[in-house]
Amino acid sequence: MTERQREHDGTALPTSRYAALTRGQLAILVPELLLAGHLIDRSGMAWCISAFGRDEMLQIAIEEWAGASPIYTRRMQRALGFAPAVEGQGDVVTIFKGIQLEIGAPPQFLDFRYTVHDPHHGEFHLDHCGALMDVEPMGEEYVQGMCHDIEDPTFDATAVASNPKAQVRPIHRPPRVPAGRTPACAWTVIIDDSHPAAEPIPAVAVNSASRAAKVELAPIDQSDQGVGDYSGPLLSDLDFAAFSRSALIRIADEVCLQMALLDNSFVLALEARAATPEQALDIRRKQTTGSAAMSAYRIARALDVPKDEQGALQLLALHPMLNPSAYVTAELDDTLVVRPSPAHDDDAWISLCGPGWYEPLQAVVRVLDPHLDVEVEPLADDEWVLTVVRRDEPAPEAQELVIAKFSTGTDFAFEGRRAIPITPVQEF
């Protein structure tokens, strides 16, 4: 039996592509991946507004996040050892830890500050909200749409993952009165058995059957130097440098699966509204190209990836479109060879690419140098090979990236912070 057959047979797990990085590099990469996942919407939703209007865009966004977050939140709980002993009976600390490790709330860009009163009562506020900074210049109706229409049902979806009896309700939220009010918003989190149980939207059941939801990743090596889980107290800020290399690899792979699950939900919502399959495919391609380029832009800058052909292959190896290795089957050396995989079963990003269309792959390598390009050739059995080449003339920046760069997340800089345990206001 070949290694590839063993991997698909479930008797062996492939080595993560992130295992090529040092612990220090991984500590830099993980928050970048969390932010990259958040910025997927800055590409996709722009095209949805154009195709369907603002109201339908809001509904797509609601279904997109609500159809994915319960699944990936539970995955991260299990991976880092803070899942409740009984599924669905998590406390406010469980909920807050999940928020800290999901693409819906990348650290510092959405600067959550937490208060824990007791296991069933807590609060949070945002000292900075990059998402608000993105929509506030667009006008009050867009602020209302994000901070009210989208937040209410998606916070309930977040509760489904930890405790369906949890309610997240606003103390205050934008539109900001007076203008520039800080904190941007504040919320209570209350778990009460008298609350009606939050119900998952239908997309959760569909997405739960995906390969992304079920893919198995290597467990964290608890003997590795550094913190191997998040079973301890809630921290004000996660110090990713404190995690072990093994834990960081697992977190990075899980974050890439969060993106895949989010895209699955996006496709379900999109296809329910598209007039034709061709319209849905066109929007998917634009979203894929824009988000692929944005992720590459931030990863390349954060890790100082060399701006040559070998650096381009390194960037592709680290890119969410090609991770985790247990989900996307690919071989990287002097070329990139992509083979059928669980990601193709899900119709994930990489399944859109190949000899007939490879604009996201071009966009990735061109963030390093506009002279770089790719040549993609078919191999046997739906496999293909990519070679990075250098052109004499520079290519223009992809229109999809130009649109995605609207976000303040494009050049957002993370800062070093101390991880301080959060002490409950009253004893448990």
Is the domain of 295 the same as that of 245? no
Q: Using the predicted structure, report yes or no on whether residue 323 has a pLDDT greater than 60.
A: yes
- Residue 93 confidence class, pLDDT cut points 50, 70, 90: very high
Is the domain of 241 the same as that of 301? no
pLDDT at 92: 97
Q: Using the predicted structure, report yes or no on whether residue 200 has a pLDDT greater than 80.
A: yes
Domain that includes residue 131, residue range:
14-261
Residue 279 phi, psi dihedral angles, 5° rounding: -65, -45
Q: Using the predicted structure, report yes or no on whether residue 9 has a pLDDT greater than 60.
A: no
Average pLDDT over residues 176-183: 85
Is the domain of 177 the same as that of 30? yes
What Rg, from alpha-carbon coordinates, does the chain have?
21
Q: By the 8 A CB rule, do 98 and 114 touch?
A: no
Q: Using the predicted structure, report yes or no on whether residue 428 has a pLDDT greater than 70.
A: no
pLDDT at 126: 95
Is the domain of 242 the same as that of 331? no
CA 317, 322, 323, 326 torsion-angle sign: negative
* DSSP line for 375-391: EEEE-STT-EEEEEEE-
Q: Would 129 be classed as within a structural domain?
A: yes
- Residue 11 confidence class, pLDDT cut points 50, 70, 90: low
Domain-terminating residue out of 261, 290, 308: 261
Q: Would 266 be classed as within a structural domain?
A: no
pLDDT at 2: 35
Q: Would 84 be classed as within a structural domain?
A: yes
Q: By the 8 A CB rule, do 338 and 290 touch?
A: no
Q: Would 9 be classed as within a structural domain?
A: no
Q: Using the predicted structure, report yes or no on whether residue 64 has a pLDDT greater than 60.
A: yes
The SS3 assignment for 309 reads helix
Q: Would 3 be classed as within a structural domain?
A: no
Tens-place pLDDT, residues 233-284: 999 999 999 999 999 999 999 999 999 999 999 999 999 999 999 999 999 9
Q: Would 250 be classed as within a structural domain?
A: yes
Is the domain of 210 the same as that of 359? no
pLDDT at 426: 63
Q: What percent of the chain has pLDDT over 90?
A: 84
Tens-place pLDDT, residues 112-160: 999 999 999 999 999 999 998 988 988 889 889 888 888 888 888 887 7
Is the domain of 49 the same as that of 108? yes
Number of domains in the chain: 2
pLDDT at 178: 80
Average pLDDT over residues 337-359: 98
Domain-terminating residue out of 206, 228, 261: 261
Q: Please state, in angstroms and rounded to a whole number, the distance separating the CA atoms of residues 286 and 291.
A: 9
Q: Would 421 be classed as within a structural domain?
A: no
Is the domain of 365 the same as that of 236? no
Is the domain of 96 the same as that of 210? yes
Average pLDDT over residues 198-215: 96
Give the other-Cβ count within 10 Å of 99's Cβ. 21
Domain-terminating residue out of 231, 261, 291: 261
- Residue 68 confidence class, pLDDT cut points 50, 70, 90: very high
Is the domain of 107 the same as that of 162? yes
Q: Would 215 be classed as within a structural domain?
A: yes
pLDDT at 277: 97
| Peptide bond just before 153 cis, omega within 30 deg | no
Token pair of 403, please?
């649109």
- Residue 406 confidence class, pLDDT cut points 50, 70, 90: confident
Is the domain of 333 the same as that of 250? no
Is the domain of 81 the same as that of 131? yes
Is the domain of 141 the same as that of 22? yes
pLDDT at 6: 42
pLDDT at 320: 98
Residue-averaged pLDDT of the chain? 93
Which three-class secondary structure string do you get for 202-255?
A: HHHHHHHCCHHHHCCCCCCCCCCCCECCCCCCCECCCCHHHECHHHHHHHHHHH
